[in-house]
Amino acid sequence: MLYTASAAGPAALLGLALVVLSVVILRVKGFARLKHIPGPLWAGWTDLWLIRAQICGRLNFILHDVNRQYGKLFPIGPKWVVCGDGAELRRMWGVRSAWQRAYWYRGLRVDPYKDNAFSTLDDQVHEKLRAKLAPGYGGKDVDNLHQLIDEQVAGLVSLLETTYLSTEIDFRPVDLACKAFGYLAADVDLFGYIETTERTVPVLLATALMPWFLRILQSPRLKWLLPNAQDMVGIGTVMGRAKAAVAERYGDKPVVKRDMLGSFVAHGLSREDAEGETVAEIDAGIREGRVSSPITDAEARQLPYLQAVIREGLRVWPPATAVLPKVSDKDQVVCGVRVPAGTNFAWSPWSIMRNKETFGDDADLFRPERWLGIPPAKYRLMDQTVMMEFAPGSRWECLGKTVAQMELNKTFVELLRRFDFTLLDPTSPWKSYNAAVFIQSDMNVVVTRREPSLVPAQLKE
Ligand code: HEM
C-alpha cells in the first residue's frame, strides 16, 4: 500500500505541473496576440476582466473610460479589441466587408437550440431570413401600423390622465421605467414580460462572453445533462406564449392577418423560425382608447427641434450598447493597427457618441441646438454617427428602425403637449443597470397637466 501511494504522489504532481504549464503557455500565447496594442493590463491575460465589466452593469461606461485612456483601439480580452472610431466601424459593417458576426452572437439565442435573426452566424441563412422579415418589421405589409402605434401612445396618455395626474391637492408620482407598452390598460406587467426580460438579458449577455460554456449549454447532445435551458434563463413561459401565438397562423385552417407575423408567414418564414422571431411582439394583444388627433409620423419628421431632441437623446444615452463583435478570418489593419485573424472586434458606442471631433467640445452635454443651423455635411456626419445605434448598412441594420423612430416621433409630442414632468428626486433620477440594453427602475416623476396644452402647430414654431 505504502509503495503504491508513494508512486502515485510524484505522478499526480507531474500531472498537476503539466496542467499548470499548459495553462501558463496558453495564457502567454493569448497575451502575445494583442500585446502590440496598449490597454488595461489584466484584460490582456484573461476574459475575466470583460466578464466582470459586463456583469457589474457598467460595461458601456468602462469601455468609454478605457477609450479615453488608451485611444481609439484597445484590447479588452486576449481575443477582444474595442474600437471607438465611427468611420472605421461603418466601413467594417458595410456590405462588402470581410468581417462576419463573431461567436458572441450565438449567445443571443432565445431558444438555446435554435437560431433567430439576431443569433445566426451564417451569412446566407441570415440574408434569407432578413428578406422574409423586412417587409413585416418595416411596416410595408402591416395594415394600420401608424394606428397601432397611436393606440399604444394613447394608452399611455390615458393611463397618466386617469391614474397618475398630480394636482395641487393630489400627489400621485409614477415610476415611468415600469410602464410596458401593450399592457397599459392593466397597468401591470401582465405576463411577466418585463420581469422575464430583465432577468434573462443579463444572463444571456454574460454567457455570450463564455464560448466554452455556451457550447455546453446549447449542445443538443448534452440536453439530457442539464435542466431545461430555457427555464434556466427563465424564458420558458415567454417561448410558450410565442409558440401559441404562432400556432394559429399555420396548420390546416391558418388565421390570415395583415400584421407583422402575417407578413412573415406570407414571405415564407417557417413555423419554427416564426416562433423564434415572435418573442418581441407577443404583447400586442391589449388595445386602449385613442386620442382624437395624434401627430402623424410625417408631421413629426418636419419638426426640426423635435428631431434634434430625439437625436440628442439617442446620442447622449444610446439605448442599445451591446458590443456587437465582428470577426475576420484574416489579419486586418484597423485604425492603422494590425488586428490578428480571429479577434472579436467590438465597438464602444458611448465613446463614438461623445466624440468631440464629430459633435464638438461640449459633446458630453445634452444640447439639441447642436443639430440646428449647421452645414449639411456636418449634419450628415452627426446623423450617420448617431444612426450607428441601429447598426447601419443593409447587412445587419436593425429591422425595427422604422417602428422605433415612429414610436419616438409620436410619444414625445403626445406626452409633452399635454403634461409637464418633474423628477421626484433629481439627485437620483433613476436606477440603471446596463446589460447591453438598459434595465431601468425607480424613474419616479410627478406628472401635471400642461396649461394650455400645446397643439402640433405651436410645436412647429
Ligand atoms: C431605439 C430602439 C432600437 C435600437 C437602438 C435597436 C438597435 C438594433 C441594433 C444595433 C441591431 C443590430 C444587431 C446586430 O446584428 O449587430 C438591431 C437588430 C434588430 N432589431 Fe433593433 N433596435 C431598436 C428597436 C427595434 C424594434 C422596435 C424592433 C422590432 C419592431 C427591432 C427589431 C430588430 C431586429 C429583428 C433585428 C435583427 C436584424 C438582423 O439580424 O438582421 N429593433 N437593432
Q: Ligand 1 within 6 A of 389 CB? A: yes
- Residue 372 domain-assigned? yes
Whether 308 is in the pocket of ligand 1, judged by its Cβ within 6 Å, is no
Q: Is 137 in the pocket of ligand 1 (CB under 6 A)?
A: yes
Residue from 181, 352, 398 whose mutation best tests the ligand 1 pocket (most atoms within 8 A of CB)? 398
CATH code, 88: 1.10.630.10
pLDDT at 180: 65
389 alpha carbon – ligand 1 mean position (Å): 9
Does the beta carbon of 400 lie inside 6 Å of ligand 1? yes
pLDDT of 256 reads 77
pLDDT at residue number 301 = 86
Q: Whose CA is nearest to atom 20 of ligand 1?
A: 398
Nearest-atom number in ligand 1 for the CA of 118 is: 40
Atom of ligand 1 nearest to the CA of 397: 12
Residue 129 Cβ inside 6 Å of ligand 1? The answer reads no
pLDDT of residue 289: 33
Assigned domain for 30 exists: no
- The whole-number pLDDT of residue 87 equals 94
**Structural domain containing residue 427:** 47-460
Q: What is the number of domains present in the chain?
A: 1
In a domain, 28, yes or no: no
Low-confidence residues in the chain, pLDDT < 70? 1-7, 179-183, 190-191, 224-239, 241, 275-293, 452-461
* Domain membership flag for residue 8: no
Give 91-115 pLDDT, tens digit per residue: 999 888 899 999 999 999 888 888 9
Going by alpha carbons, the residue nearest to atom 7 of ligand 1 is: 390
Please check whether residue 3 lies inside any domain of the structure.
Answer: no
Say if residue 398 carries a ligand binding annotation.
Answer: yes
391 touches ligand 1 (CB under 6 Å) = yes
CA 320 to ligand 1 centroid distance, Å: 9
The protein residue whose alpha carbon is closest to atom 16 in ligand 1 is: 324
pLDDT at 220: 81
Give the 3-state DSSP-derived string for the chain, with helices as H, strands as E and coil as C. CHHHHHHHHHHHHHHHHHHHHHHHHHHHHHHHHCCCCCCCCHHHCCCHHHHHHHHCCCHHHHHHHHHHHHCCEEEEECCEEEECCHHHHHHHCCCCCCCEECHHHHHHCCCCCCCCCCCCCCHHHHHHHHHHHHHHHCCCCCCCHHHHHHHHHHHHHHHHHHHCECCCCCCCCEEHHHCCCCCCCCCCCCCCHHHHHHHHHHHHHHHCCCHHHHHHHCCHHHHHHCCCHHHHCCCHHHHHHHHHHHHCCCCCCCCCCCCHHHHHHHCCCCHHHHHHHHHHHHHHHCCCCCCCCCCCHHHHHCCHHHHHHHHHHHHHCCCECCCCCEECCCCEEECCEEECCCCEEEECHHHHHCCHHHHCCCCCCCCHHHHCCCCHHHHHHHHHHHHHHHCCCCCCCCCCHHHHHHHHHHHHHHHHCCEEEEECCCCCCCEEEECCEEEEECCEEEEEECCCCCCHHHHHC
pLDDT at residue number 287: 34
